[in-house]
Structure 1
Amino acid sequence: MTISQQAFEQYTIAFYNLENLFDVHNEKYVLDEDFTPQGRLAWTPQRYQKKLQKLSDAISKVGTLQTGKLPAIIGVAEVENKKVLEDLIQQPKLVKGNYGIIHYNSPDERGIDVAMLYRKDLFTLEHAEPIAVDVTMPNDEPDRTRDILYVKGTLAGMPLHIYVNHWPSRRDGADSTNEKRVTVAKQLMEHVNNVDPILNRKNQEKPLLESTNVIIMGDFNDDPENDSISNEILPYGFQNVTAPLKKFHRGSLNHKFKWNLFDQIMISDSLNNDVPDALYFHQADIFDDIMLRQWKGKYRGQPARTFVGRTYKGGYSDHFPVFMILRRN
């Protein structure tokens, strides 16, 4: 007889790029004119509410097959402000999760930020801060990008250091922008090393309250095999638990009919442990349920987007969420 997954004490930690979650108001100093009722995309209150409903429905199902409950922690990207997150967590599918919000306005030129949602009954917040990154290349104009969000706290008694990322895009070409993402990776690791200078993150035998457990999640605009991930992060005490999920026919987003896995979760070696009462990494997956996919036409099977160009499609996002499950020893 098999043991039900729900017989274990386990928690879902997820990341989801929400694809331009903007409200309908034109804010000063934010390039959000397109996302207004009179704007290029005719972003009406009705369309905004439909997107909130769809995103909340998706988030409510991430990891629930494995745990039977709402995600404990969700890192998110492409949110305009704290208000859109307040609207999101008040949706009927999420309100019972009693989520808290960690958000800071970033200097990104498009006005999009990263943030973290957490269940206040499970995660105790101790500290949070934005980490400013500088990706301006020599002889270039200043390049303003998203901050990295750093959060310290405990999940069901387990100390965690969490970094939520959204790295510079490939819009100007993967090769020409590669150095920017490598630069962000180096600055991220500087912070990690300041938090954990003696590399406790590599120790799989530290007692529960003495361990340094680091989770790096986000939309990296790079695949697992690219320099920024494989050379700048993984050699320093980390495992990419989402890397095995990338296949020719599977990923977290699709560009020109090619699957990529830009959305990833990396964990410190300390989360592969058998320490009594500690949480340990159990499994990871992409939540690419049929509900999140386009179901007809030449883009069948790809993420069901809100917009394709200027054409409103009324979908969820151009990315699938990724997630992992932590279990209690």
Structure 2
Amino acid sequence: MEKKDTLNKYHTIAFYNLENLFDTIDDKHKLDDDFLPEAARNWTPKRYDKKIYKLGSAITSFGSEDTTNVPVLIGVAEVENKKVMNDLVSSKPLAEFKYDFVHYNSPDERGIDVGLLYQKEHFEVIYSESIPILLYTEDGVRDFTRDTLYVKGLLNGEAIHVFVNHWSSRRQGANETSHKRIKAAQTVKSKINEIKAAENDPHIIIMGDFNDDPTSESIQNHLMDTELYNPMLKLLTIYKGSASYRGEWNLFDQIIFSTNFFDYKKGTHSFASADIFDEDFLTIWKGKYKGNPFRTYAGKKYLGGYSDHFPVYIKLKFNV
């Protein structure tokens, strides 16, 4: 009993890019044609249900070695709408844990958004909003991308501020698109400054797929400061990351938090550890890409895996 009580003091907070979690229904307002039953990818209800089940099963495992509970908060990226969020929290692996979620539709042309799953037993939402990243082309035309999700809530009674991000991709080149991720970082930073002006010593968690590494300009020069800590900085090596591209590891998926999570005070949470969740069942088992994330698709070829990203997580100890 004493060991279980000790484990119950630890709470996992995770982030997971779900790799194109689209439903199988055509949305006339979004570019979702690749993920329909009649599309080249043959995205059928059976394949959709299988992915939902696999993702739910994976989520229950995050951080399980140090706690008896499933993650209390999971930020997610690449979700199409509220339906897929609801299907995920209602899936057989997750239903018993009574998750709810926060989600807003973003203006992203493909219709992929971010969201936050939370376990109602441990987290209470006080306020939430969708924060647009205002990007423009040289001609002054709006370049639509994913909004950042902001949620204020009570984690085991302690007020925390959570940001869930999915910054612009590098598809057109890392240097050519860096200004977009810098703008996203500046947007989040501006909101954090607002919070700090209104609240004394706020506890802040910033998570997401930043499409930049911990050492990139957007994060190092436009987001980080002396009151923020990035535990992922120590996790990226040539052998380990959250996503692999052309044989090289990146750690685009990160969780950053305010340094007051190092403080100890009764009724608050303290940082315990951080890691990449790259367990064997989430990896490709053999061949050229052995050890890489076991993804759902490689191009148009269906592989039946989980995601092309590994989840990342931190553990917080609740001080009683």
Aligned to 2:233: 243
Measure the CA separation in 2 of the matches of 1:259 and 1:66: 26
Aligned to 2:282: 292
Measure the CA separation in 1 of the matches of 2:267 and 2:142: 48
1:162 counterpart SS class: strand
TM-score (norm 1): 0.93
Measure the CA separation in 1 of the matches of 2:296 and 2:25: 18
Measure the CA separation in 2 of the matches of 1:169 and 1:19: 13
Aligned to 1:91: 91
Measure the CA separation in 1 of the matches of 2:164 and 2:71: 16
1:111 counterpart SS class: coil
Q: Deviations over 1:1-59 (max 9, x none)?
A: x9679445111100000000000000110111111110121100110011011111111
Measure the CA separation in 2 of the matches of 1:200 and 1:263: 29
Aligned to 1:311: 301
2:254 counterpart SS class: strand
Q: Deviations over 1:45-95 (max 9, x none)?
A: 110011011111111101111112110000000000010111111112111
- Contact conserved, 1:101 with 1:117, CA < 8 A, in 2? yes
1:40 counterpart SS class: coil
Aligned to 1:206: none
Question: Which blocks of at least 5 consecutive residues in structure 2 are unaligned?
Answer: none
Aligned to 1:125: 125
Task: Work out whether 1:158 is the aligned partner of 2:148.
Answer: no
Measure the CA separation in 2 of the matches of 1:236 and 1:214: 13
Q: Deviations over 1:230-251 (max 9, x none)?
A: 1111115200022211111000
- Contact conserved, 2:7 with 2:68, CA < 8 A, in 1? no
Q: Which amino acid aligns with 1:148?
A: T
Q: Which amino acid aligns with 2:65?
A: L
Measure the CA separation in 2 of the matches of 1:8 and 1:283: 15
Q: Deviations over 1:157-203 (max 9, x none)?
A: 111000000000000000111111011111111111111127844xx
Q: Deviations over 1:212-266 (max 9, x none)?
A: 1000000000000001111111115200022211111000000001000000000
Over the residues paired in the alignment, what is the CA RMSD in angstroms?
A: 1.6
Measure the CA separation in 2 of the matches of 1:13 and 1:304: 22
1:101 deviation in Å?
1.0
- Contact conserved, 1:76 with 1:114, CA < 8 A, in 2? yes
